[in-house]
Chains A and B, each alone.
Chain A
């Protein structure tokens, strides 16, 4: 018989209490792992974006204002030797919708020549690039978009032809040929096609408008990105088209903020959860401790050193926390693995997936909480005066 066995058996002493505690511990832990998973997904995407070193240049007043595409040459002219920037890709918002669907797809027209370079994370192989260059109607689509629509619209697949209607004037309807599916998480919700195709189509519709909403500049390093950020804004500061340059994460942040600060909310939820489970564990341990005073007294009389008494009580709390956490985390984790939640609004995550990191972190934090909650009862147990303990009627 080991001490571990004793601790486990003690949990079986009052099965109802143990069961209630485990449930009261597990439910908030389920919420916790969800919140942490979401935060982890956002952080991961933030990191992925940061590595790409892209600088977004848009109109100072609003992203909606269109900039003349001649601006691209001017940006490139700031660094003719390409020491600081690699390439510039102009993009224009299309906002294409499938007619019966309520929400538009995040679809953008991109400069055909520089798109594969500036968006190297699309992972286009030389064959993909060739297909992109050859086909006017070529489209590069993120896997999140494919997953979302492929059930209802089977053409949403590699090689398929889909038709989208723009949600901005002049509401063009264009056909596209999907030549590449992007695997990376940070590009999962996007749909890119060739801007020359859009410009031509606009001309045919009577709108002569070779313009862009934003220019993405691929920089050579983090310092270079900062330098270019100031240089570009300065270059256009006194023109009709004043610019504001932001790195990709700052750009994305302005969207997620207006979603009601979901990251902030998840943070708050996580903290509240930890407080609640800590209290639940502490409460149970105090109740157990109070009822076991005499038994603990006997242990002391037998000669168990105080540190061992402390360890027994603390271990019980940690064991409760660990089991409760596993009960709470496992269903959520399994659920998310088999049924990942579809994209939540404009959030740049393809789906809320089960992340092993989130599960481990949640478990470790739960155990830490169990230890913290059990500390006081364990300490009291250690400091019990044996004689009083033996006398006490619970």
Chain B
């Protein structure tokens, strides 16, 4: 015979104020923890779709990002030497020259009070073959026209990017490009960009050099070997696989998350202590009751288990409250966030969504916290000496 779970559940409601207060403590910590986990998930998800092993991004030698790289077209041609490039239907190598600039756009989340630098990328039609993860949600821009397509994350977070809107681009900010459609890419960072025709954009910004060249390799080719060839004496440029590139670009974001993570960790420890406090008081207040249970015949282990259950129940209630609070916060204050990359001047957009995976993680963490907090008090309860407890006034 085991202690019925309802006994432990009902005990939570005997001392209502303590239960409520402890639950709220847990809820507060869980709320912040969930937000952080949601953010990290969003980043991981975004990066996980930017790890194409057959794609290499080529920059000017020594550049750390597209915003400070300039490749002259003659140099870009050197890349045709590479044997390992995949080819398209016409037999042309899949080599996409690209130019990256920024445009300052109002943030939707604070109604345009602050502005963000959004990346604008000029590409040729080859780009769509080199970046097969781009999914057009309507027609693409026409080369040679004043048209652009916008990534869904950019359209969501920044103003003036709906289909039909005109974005002012160009060096003088006075050339209007019509948004003819949106594109998605499974959440990859490219969804925070605006894409347009390469030659028109280059002339609008009076540029003669590309920022970067993206290459698609043939199946089964070793990317590392190609990078070595690119950096070698014949070509002398910097090459990075897509995942390396984006890992570098997001290093500062990861530092930020680590800082927040440490802070949340500290508060979780505080929560554990708070739970321990509550459980100790709970045990102390029920010594006679525990002694009674023992005289009836429940074993010390069953008593211990009972208290552990109580603590886990308590924590789960707090956890659910915290999750609900986080969800409410996200829906009220908006779940969008954008952050600078470490080396770029442009911003990456994130959406924090609480999916089932996150909920499970958060509740799991909270149950663990509840267990940890109750371990010592529950152990003490199980060690209670029956006769002494019965005598206690």
* A and B directly contacting (CB within 8 A): yes
Query: Which A residues have a C-beta under 8 Å from some C-beta of B?
Result: 16-17, 20-21, 23-25, 27-28, 30-31, 34, 60-62, 64-65, 95, 102-103, 167-169, 171, 240-242, 253-255, 257-262, 265, 268-269, 272-273, 275-276, 279-280, 282-284, 286-287, 290-291, 344-346, 394
Q: Are B277 and A283 in contact (CB under 8 A)?
A: yes
Q: Are A30 and B266 in contact (CB under 8 A)?
A: yes
Nearest-neighbour CB distance to chain A for B113, whole angstroms, equals 9
Contact of B337 among A260, A275, A279, A290 (CB under 8 A): A260
Q: Are A61 and B270 in contact (CB under 8 A)?
A: no
Report the separation of the CA atoms of residues A61 and B96 in the bound assembly, to the nearest whole angstrom.
27
Report the separation of the CA atoms of residues A34 and B15 in the bound assembly, to the nearest whole angstrom.
35
User: How many A-B contacts at CB < 8 Å in the complex?
Assistant: 144
Nearest 8 CB-CB pairings of A with B: A61-B173, A24-B273, A283-B21, A27-B270, A258-B340, A20-B277, A287-B281, A24-B274
| A residues less than 8 Å from B276 (CB atoms) | 20
Report the separation of the CA atoms of residues A241 and B253 in the bound assembly, to the nearest whole angstrom.
34
Q: Are A169 and B285 in contact (CB under 8 A)?
A: no
**With contacts A16-B280, A276-B270 known, is A282 near B21, CB below 8 A?**
yes
Report the separation of the CA atoms of residues A245 and B12 in the bound assembly, to the nearest whole angstrom.
61
| A residues less than 8 Å from B15 (CB atoms) | 290
Q: Are A17 and B114 in contact (CB under 8 A)?
A: no
Contact of B267 among A254, A265, A273, A290 (CB under 8 A): A273
Q: Are A62 and B266 in contact (CB under 8 A)?
A: no
Report the separation of the CA atoms of residues A275 and B26 in the bound assembly, to the nearest whole angstrom.
11
Contact of B173 among A242, A273, A344, A345 (CB under 8 A): A242
Q: Are B172 and A28 in contact (CB under 8 A)?
A: no
Query: Which B residues have a C-beta under 8 Å from some C-beta of A?
Result: 15, 17-18, 21-22, 24-25, 28-29, 31-32, 62-64, 68, 70, 101-104, 107, 114-117, 168, 170-173, 252-253, 255-256, 259-260, 263, 266-267, 269-271, 273-274, 276-278, 280-281, 284-285, 337-340, 342, 345, 347
Report the separation of the CA atoms of residues A31 and B114 in the bound assembly, to the nearest whole angstrom.
28
Report the separation of the CA atoms of residues A168 and B284 in the bound assembly, to the nearest whole angstrom.
69
| B residues less than 8 Å from A265 (CB atoms) | 260
Nearest-neighbour CB distance to chain B for A267, whole angstroms, equals 12
Nearest-neighbour CB distance to chain A for B40, whole angstroms, equals 12
Report the separation of the CA atoms of residues A170 and B106 in the bound assembly, to the nearest whole angstrom.
31
| B residues less than 8 Å from A253 (CB atoms) | 114
Q: Are A20 and B102 in contact (CB under 8 A)?
A: no
Q: Are B277 and A284 in contact (CB under 8 A)?
A: yes
List the B residue with the shortest CB-CB distance to A66: B171
Contact of B172 among A16, A242, A276, A287 (CB under 8 A): A242
Q: Are B32 and A64 in contact (CB under 8 A)?
A: no
Q: Are B270 and A24 in contact (CB under 8 A)?
A: yes
Q: Are B340 and A279 in contact (CB under 8 A)?
A: no
Q: Are A258 and B281 in contact (CB under 8 A)?
A: no
List the B residue with the shortest CB-CB distance to A277: B270
Q: Are B28 and A168 in contact (CB under 8 A)?
A: no
Contact of B339 among A254, A260, A268, A280 (CB under 8 A): A260
8 of the cross-chain contacts (CB-CB < 8 Å) are: A17-B281, A21-B273, A27-B269, A95-B68, A167-B63, A255-B340, A265-B260, A276-B271
List the A residue with the shortest CB-CB distance to B17: A286
Q: Are A27 and B68 in contact (CB under 8 A)?
A: no
Contact of A62 among B62, B104, B260 (CB under 8 A): B104
Q: Are A259 and B340 in contact (CB under 8 A)?
A: yes
Nearest-neighbour CB distance to chain A for B8, whole angstroms, equals 19
Q: Are A283 and B25 in contact (CB under 8 A)?
A: yes
Q: Are B18 and A283 in contact (CB under 8 A)?
A: yes
Report the separation of the CA atoms of residues A273 and B347 in the bound assembly, to the nearest whole angstrom.
30
